[in-house]
Each structure stands twice: as C-alpha cells, then as structure tokens.
Amino acid sequence: MGLPEERGRSGGGSGVREEAGARSRARSWSPPPEVSRSAHVPSLQRYRELHRRSLEEPREFWGDIAKEFYWKTPCPGPFLQYNFDVTKGKIFIEWMKGATTNICYNVLDRIVYEKKLGDKVAFYWEGNEPEETTQITYRELLVQVCHFSNVLRKQGICKGDRVAIYMPMIPELVVAMLACARLGALHSIVFAGFSSESLCERILDSSCSLLITTDAFYRGEKLVNLKELADEALEKCREKGFPVRCCIVVKHLGRAELGTGDSPSQSPPIKRPCPDVQISWNEGVDMWWHELMQEAGDECEPEWCDAEDPLFILYTSGSTGKPKGVVHTVGGYMLYVATTFKYVFDFHAEDVFWCTADIGWITGHSYVTYGPLANGATSVLFEGIPTYPDTSRLWSIVDKYKVTKFYTAPTAIRLLMKFGDEPVTRHSRASLQVLGTVGEPINPEAWLWYHRVVGAQRCPIVDTFWQTETGGHMLTPLPGATPMKPGSATFPFFGVAPAVLNESGEELEGEAEGYLVFKQPWPGIMRTVYGNHERFETTYFKKFPGYYVTGDGCRRDQDGYYWITGRIDDMLNVSGHLLSTAEVESALVEHEAVAEAAVVGHPHPVKGECLYCFVTLCDGHTFSSTLTEELKKQIREKIGPIATPDYIQNAPSLPKTRSGKIMRRVLRKIAQNDHDLGDMSTVADPSVITQLFSHRCLTIQ
Ligand code: PRX
C-alpha cells in the first residue's frame, strides 16, 4: 500500500498533485507544514504508530487517556469487556465498569479548579441578530449549571430520570443538558425544528418526567413559537395517558422584559423588535426558568455515576419508521469525544472553535458541548442561520471571534457556494487554521471550493465520517498528518478497526467495495436502544455476526483510503440528516386521500439528497396542487420541516414484484428519468412503469 506522503512530495505548502494509480483518479493534498509542525500528530507515521497501539492495546491506550479525567473511584475490574457476536449471546460493551465519575464535573469543575481556567470564555454566544451577543466563562457556566441542577432536584429529578429538552441554540440549552448530567438524569434533546408530534413521540418513548423549553425564537426572519409546539406535544402526551408534570420555560424572546441579572446566561436583551408572542400558560405545570433560578442555591454536589451509567438518549431515524433512542454512557463517551476533539481538530489552548451544528443533533452534543468543554476550549454558540442577515454571516462571525477551527456540513458549503466567492472574501478569515465537514459525503467540487475560497488554500479539511450511534468521529484525517483526498474520510481514528465486507460477510482485503463495518468497540459506541435492546442487536449486529454494521457502503482505494458510498438501507440523507423513508410514507398514508405511498431519495444540488414521493390516491380523490400542499403540511406536522418533500408524483399504481414488494430501485430510476432499469424479470405489471415515466415531476414543487 503506497501512501501519497511516502511517494515523496517534498517542498512546502499545501500542494495538489496527481495520484499515481488509475483507479482512484483523486488528487491528494499534503498537510501544510506549518500545521504539522505544531500538531499533536505531526506525521502519517506517527498516526500509524498511535493507531496500531490503540488497536493492539486498547486498554492501555484508553487507560492513559482516562488518567487525564477525574474519577471518584478508579476502575475496579477489567477496563474493557464486550461481546460483538450475536451467535455467542447478548451484545454488550463495557468500558471501565465500576469506576465512578461525573461528566459535568469533568467538563466544568475540573476545568475551573484543576486546570485553573475559570476565567476562560467557554462560549461566545451569537444570537440570530448580529448585535445580540454575550459570553460566558467556565466559572459562570459552572454557577449556572449548579443553580439549575438544584432547580431540577427541587422538581424531584433524580439519577436515572429522563428529561426532555426542546430549545433553540441559547446558553440555557447547554446549562440544561449539563445540569441533567450533573444529577445523573438522562437528557433527551429534541431538535427545535421537529414537530410537536415528534416531540410527543420521543417524550413517550422514554417517559420523560419533565420538559425544558423556550418561549419563542427567530431563525433568520422566521419566528418560531416554540412554547405553542411544546404545549401541543404535552397535550398529546396527556391524551395518551402520560401527563408530564413540569414544563420549565426560558424567557428568550421576552428577555428584554427581565431586569439585568435575571437573565441566567447574561444574554443581553433581545434587540429585535419582538411582536407579542402569545404564550399560553398551564398553571401547575409551566414554570419560568428565571423565577426558579432566583431561588436556587449555588452549591450542588454532583451525582457520582458508574462509567457505564447512561448519560443521554438521542433519537435517530430508524429504517422501520420509528425513531431509535440511541443511548450513550458517561465514561466511554467522555473519553471518546474529548479525544476525537483534541486530535481531529488539533486543539490547542488558544483556539476558538466553532461547530455550526445544532445541539439537537449528535454533532452538537459531541462537538458543541461535551468535546470542547472537556478540553477547556473556547467555542462559538450560534443561534442563527448562514444566510441571515446576509450570505456572509458565517465569515463575519469567524472574523469577529477570530475562529481558528471551523466545523460545518457539506450542505451549508453547497448553499453558500451558490452566492459566489465575494461574500467569503469580503472577510479576512486570517484566523482560520483547520476546516471540518460532517454529515454526508462531500462532493469534490464543494471540497475544493471550501479549501480554495474559505480556507485560502492553507487550511487542511477534516472530512469526518461518523454517526449518532458512534458518539464521535470514526474515519477522519488528522490535520497535521493525513494527506487528504477530496471526498474521502481517509483513515480510521484511534481505536477504530474498519473492515469492508461482501454480501456473504467475508472481509475484503486491499482495494474493495462493500459494507462498512467495525470489528471492535471504541469507547464512544452506543450501548443500547432505549427500552429495546433487541432492536439494538438486530439493527447493528445481526446481519454480520461479530461486527458493528454501520448501514453505509464504502470503497477502499489502493492507498487504503475509505470513501463512503452512501446508505445501503432505506434511509435518506437530507442536508446531512438521516430520514427514514418508512416514517415519511406513514405520514403520507395518514392523509385520507392517500391509499399507498413510496418515498425514494433524489439528487439535490444543495441538500445532497431530497425526497421524491409517489402517492396512490384512494378512489374519489383527485391529484391537485392543493393536495400536494396538504401532504407537505401533513409531513411537516408529523415529522418536521426537514422532511418536507421536493417532489410528489401521482402514481395510479406502484411498480411491485410478483410477491407484492414495492420496487424502490425502479422508482429511484423513474424519479431520475433513467430508463436503464436493469433486471425487470420480477415486475408484476410493466405497464405501470411506462405510465409513471410519462408523469414524472419535472420541477421542484
Ligand atoms: O451515511 C452516513 C452519513 O450520515 C450518517 C449518520 O447520520 P447521523 O447519525 O444523523 O449523524 C450525522 C452526524 C455525525 C452516516 O451513516 N455521514 C456522516 N458523516 C459522513 C457521512 N457520509 C459520508 N461522509 C461523512 N463525512
């Protein structure tokens, strides 16, 4: 295996050159020497040594890292025990079982008292409006978290309880999640873009006893009355026989009414004229955050948790349609996000880090909150969107806070590319050192634009492949070590042992294409699906016993680089977010006009992939633009705006096999007007296909 660096590119600068080898025509980019010089991992050789050690001696490798953290009691028994093989019994993974700690203590108290970084800024908060800013130090954050932990305790929240959080990107969101962690209660954060129905479903699935939300917020120009959605969700929970006993509400848009000092995050009053958001109030259930905080005490002893105690639940789409509650645990997750953050972004004390992801997704959990804080980093917490008030917003924030490491999604890059270079080059961006991407494969065109325009050709790009389930990065370059190929997530992180399997489950060597799996556990791997361990085993371990199955396909090239080729199940990746086709289909058939629905992915220039829906109507209903609007509304209400389809096509019938299975493979081809349908011997009625081709949607609706 000849790697680019070994083939000898001498000379300075981040250069481009043609790769030898006909198969992968990809060019490779060497890490800039000025980055390598000060990097934690300064060469590919050093990466390889560390990676080899992490696999051969995982207990020692992670044991050394664990020494950096505070443990109330050390690990009494084996550092790692696991079973990855369903044929040998129950799947389980235990890192440091029996050791006790608290992740909130480690990311706040340890940073303030042991590292003496109490006065360091933990977050620069930038609101939806550029003038709405504030900052919060580690010490201030600790005080807020202790206060709010006491609030939760007073409301009866104990270790093991589940708390739902439904909030925009404001400092109180971080405070709320860390307060749960301090008490050993599991936070279940639901992205504020999800519908009330989705929130209700998640509250019920993990029987959350308390909800924390916000009055309202702006996303760009759009006002979101979050409390109204939260009320609807709680009403639905009540109807289903599960009354949530307490709802704590942050006054965010209404902050201006609060006197200074009442605002827990020290956020300045919201400057944007705030229309009267009508908040309905349920006496006995609803409570204002600021009122509870005023009464709360300063001291709060953390709850000491087992390393294997659950830390949080985060729901991700499942191919059966019902979201899965991914469970991460205290000790392993802490080690893994702290370590990936340090090495993948090559973190140094003076860095200002900015991950644009919402905390409602795993990227926000791991790289807005836990990973940066565990390293004592200063981060930006951004409430707004990249195009408001104009398309240069991200770069003006980069200059404002002198951001050094910047992490975003390919969909954001593709969106901004459309507006040309000027909104970027208008700002200096001189502080930037490392750029990152996550969530979906990045097309080389977007990679090259990100590198050339945003990074001015001097910043390495870390294309990080990982999942909600993995807790942290799995395949990724290291900025000072890995020669990059645009579109490849390159090599495994420490502790990660990837393999490529064929359909029969055989490991393929060298250049190969197949199923991406992992052979041994890393500390950040999920431990179960909340309340359904069998689903955990079936989804990730049944298909190929002995391996964790990612659900992604991949190709390994002649240099050993991994290229993700996309999902191999019925999941779609829209703007970096996984959606289940089954979930969208069930939202469609709930409409009285729809008898049957089939949803497939379709290429989209900005979102990467979008939804193309085929619907068969019930007798007596006609297909019209009013109906497509109603169906879109239905999906928004059932799931949320991210699942809004771009295309809805009338399908008098759907192509099926003789055994009655919908042929999605064929539907994907119809959506793309690709008549090369392959083997059609199993289709029951070929005339259906001709009919669908002639009625394709030609434009986004
Ligand atoms: O298909 C892969 C894609 O996103 C999926 C995981 O989605 P989710 O759990 O929502 O987490 C997203 C953020 C970590 C993966 O199974 N994916 C994620 N990152 C990449 C990617 N595909 C290609 N390249 C990536 N860098």
pLDDT in tens, 128-148: 999 999 999 999 999 999 999
Total number of residues shown for the chain: 701
CB burial readout 376-403, b (16+ within 10 A) else e: bbbbbbbbbbbbbeebbbbbbbbbebeb
Please give the pLDDT value at position 321.
79
Please give the pLDDT value at position 265.
47
Whether residue 259 is predicted with pLDDT greater than 90 in this model: the reply is no
Whether residue 475 is predicted with pLDDT greater than 80 in this model: the reply is yes
CB 147 within 8 A of CB 124: no
CB 157 within 8 A of CB 209: yes
Whether residue 276 is predicted with pLDDT greater than 90 in this model: the reply is no
Atom 13 of ligand 1, residue of closest alpha carbon: 439
**Any ligand 1 atom below 6 A from CB of 489:** yes
**Any ligand 1 atom below 6 A from CB of 470:** no
- SS3 state of residue 272: coil
Q: At residue 253, what is the residue type?
A: L
Domain annotation covers residue 653:
yes
User: What is the Å distance from ligand 1's center to 627 Cα?
Assistant: 33
User: What is the Å distance from ligand 1's center to 79 Cα?
Assistant: 29
**Any ligand 1 atom below 6 A from CB of 518:** no
User: What is the Å distance from ligand 1's center to 473 Cα?
Assistant: 10
Site to substitute for ligand 1 among 367, 466, 525, most atoms within 8 A of C-beta: 466
Mean pLDDT in residue range 535-554: 97
Report d(CA 531, CA 333) in Å as an integer: 20
Q: Rg for the chain (alpha carbons), in Å?
A: 25
**Any ligand 1 atom below 6 A from CB of 552:** yes
Strands 647-650 and 608-617, by their bridges, are parallel
Whether residue 311 is predicted with pLDDT greater than 50 in this model: the reply is yes
Nearest partner of 399 among 430, 443, 368, 375, judged by Cα: 430
Whether residue 22 is predicted with pLDDT greater than 60 in this model: the reply is no
Mean pLDDT in residue range 70-84: 97
**Any ligand 1 atom below 6 A from CB of 28:** no
- SS3 state of residue 9: coil
Please give the pLDDT value at position 684.
86
Mean pLDDT in residue range 249-258: 86
Tokens 């085993």 found at: 537
Domain annotation covers residue 462:
no
**DSSP one-letter code for 469:** G
Mean pLDDT in residue range 428-440: 97
Report d(CA 266, CA 384) in Å as an integer: 18
Q: What is the pLDDT of residues 56-68, one digit of tens each?
A: 999 999 999 999 9
Tokens 């390293």 found at: 375
Atom 25 of ligand 1, residue of closest alpha carbon: 465
Q: What is the pLDDT of residues 574-588, one digit of tens each?
A: 999 999 998 999 899
Please give the pLDDT value at position 566.
87
Could you give the strand order of the β-sheet that contains 608-617, starting from the edge strand earlier in sequence? 594-604, 608-617, 647-650
Report d(CA 403, CA 604) in Å as an integer: 30
**Any ligand 1 atom below 6 A from CB of 96:** no
- Closest ligand 1 atom to Cα of 489: 26
Q: Between these two residues, 2 and 449, which has the higher pLDDT value?
A: 449
Report d(CA 437, CA 418) in Å as an integer: 18
Q: What is the pLDDT of residues 221-248, one digit of tens each?
A: 999 999 999 999 999 999 999 999 999 9
Whether residue 693 is predicted with pLDDT greater than 80 in this model: the reply is yes
Atom 12 of ligand 1, residue of closest alpha carbon: 439
**Per-residue three-class SS string for 238-262:** HHCCCCCCEEEEECCHHHHHCCCCC
Whether residue 15 is predicted with pLDDT greater than 60 in this model: the reply is no
Strands 121-126 and 133-137, by their bridges, are antiparallel
> Which H/E stretch holds residue 470?
none
Domain annotation covers residue 413:
no
Angle at 435 between CA 641 and CA 443, to 5 degrees: 60
**Any ligand 1 atom below 6 A from CB of 101:** no
Q: What is the pLDDT of residues 284-303, one digit of tens each?
A: 999 999 999 999 999 999 99
**Any ligand 1 atom below 6 A from CB of 316:** yes
Q: Which residues contact 665 (CB under 8 A, 6 or more apart)?
A: 678
User: What is the Å distance from ligand 1's center to 378 Cα?
Assistant: 25
CB 24 within 8 A of CB 555: no
Tokens 């279940």 found at: 188
User: What is the Å distance from ligand 1's center to 290 Cα?
Assistant: 37
Strands 162-165 and 286-288, by their bridges, are unpaired
Please give the pLDDT value at position 683.
86
CB 173 within 8 A of CB 148: no
Site to substitute for ligand 1 among 476, 555, 578, most atoms within 8 A of C-beta: 578
- Closest ligand 1 atom to Cα of 357: 13
389 prior amide bond cis, ω within 30: yes
- Closest ligand 1 atom to Cα of 466: 14
- Closest ligand 1 atom to Cα of 469: 9
Whether residue 304 is predicted with pLDDT greater than 70 in this model: the reply is yes
**Any ligand 1 atom below 6 A from CB of 380:** no
User: What is the Å distance from ligand 1's center to 364 Cα?
Assistant: 14
Atom 2 of ligand 1, residue of closest alpha carbon: 440
**Any ligand 1 atom below 6 A from CB of 608:** no
**Any ligand 1 atom below 6 A from CB of 573:** yes
Query: What's the sign of the alpha-carbon dihedral 676, 679, 681, 685?
Result: negative
**Any ligand 1 atom below 6 A from CB of 563:** no
User: What is the Å distance from ligand 1's center to 566 Cα?
Assistant: 9
Domain annotation covers residue 597:
yes
Site to substitute for ligand 1 among 548, 562, 571, 573, most atoms within 8 A of C-beta: 573
Report d(CA 346, CA 657) in Å as an integer: 52
Whether residue 591 is predicted with pLDDT greater than 90 in this model: the reply is yes
- CATH number, domain of 582, equals 3.30.300.30
Mean pLDDT in residue range 91-103: 98
**Any ligand 1 atom below 6 A from CB of 465:** yes
Q: Is 425 exposed, middle or buried (0-12, 13-18, 19+ CB in 10 A)?
A: middle
Mean of the per-residue pLDDT values of the chain: 92
**Any ligand 1 atom below 6 A from CB of 440:** yes
Report d(CA 587, CA 123) in Å as an integer: 39
Site to substitute for ligand 1 among 316, 435, 440, 474, most atoms within 8 A of C-beta: 440
- In degrees and rounded to multiples of 5, residue 245 shows phi and psi of -85, -15
When pLDDT is cut at 50, 70 and 90, the band that residue 20 belongs to is: very low
**DSSP one-letter code for 695:** T
Strand runs (DSSP E) across 331-422, as ranges?
Answer: 352-355, 378-382, 405-408
Tokens standing for 480? 């000072």
User: What is the Å distance from ligand 1's center to 576 Cα?
Assistant: 7
CB 478 within 8 A of CB 463: no
Mean pLDDT in residue range 250-274: 62
Site to substitute for ligand 1 among 324, 326, 550, 564, most atoms within 8 A of C-beta: 564
Nearest partner of 215 among 160, 257, 161, judged by Cα: 257
**Any ligand 1 atom below 6 A from CB of 494:** no
Atom 23 of ligand 1, residue of closest alpha carbon: 441
Window from 147-151, 183-187, 627-631, 683-687 with minimum mean pLDDT: 683-687
Please give the pLDDT value at position 318.
85
**Any ligand 1 atom below 6 A from CB of 358:** no
Mean pLDDT in residue range 663-669: 92
CB 524 within 8 A of CB 367: no
Q: Provide the domain count of the chain.
A: 1
Report d(CA 28, CA 129) in Å as an integer: 40
Whether residue 642 is predicted with pLDDT greater than 60 in this model: the reply is yes
Whether residue 18 is predicted with pLDDT greater than 70 in this model: the reply is no
pLDDT > 70: what percent of the chain? 94
Tokens standing for 58? 């995982």
Number of H helices and E strands in the chain, helices first, is: 21, 33
Show the domain range for 651: 575-695
**Per-residue three-class SS string for 580-624:** EHHHHHHHHHCCCCEEEEEEEEEEECCCEEEEEEEEEECCCCCCC
CB 685 within 8 A of CB 653: yes
pLDDT > 90: what percent of the chain? 85
Q: Between these two residues, 479 and 22, which has the higher pLDDT value?
A: 479
Domain annotation covers residue 645:
yes
Report d(CA 448, CA 456) in Å as an integer: 10
**Any ligand 1 atom below 6 A from CB of 488:** no
Domain annotation covers residue 267:
no
Q: What is the pLDDT of residues 183-228, one digit of tens each?
A: 999 999 999 999 999 999 999 999 999 999 999 999 999 999 999 9
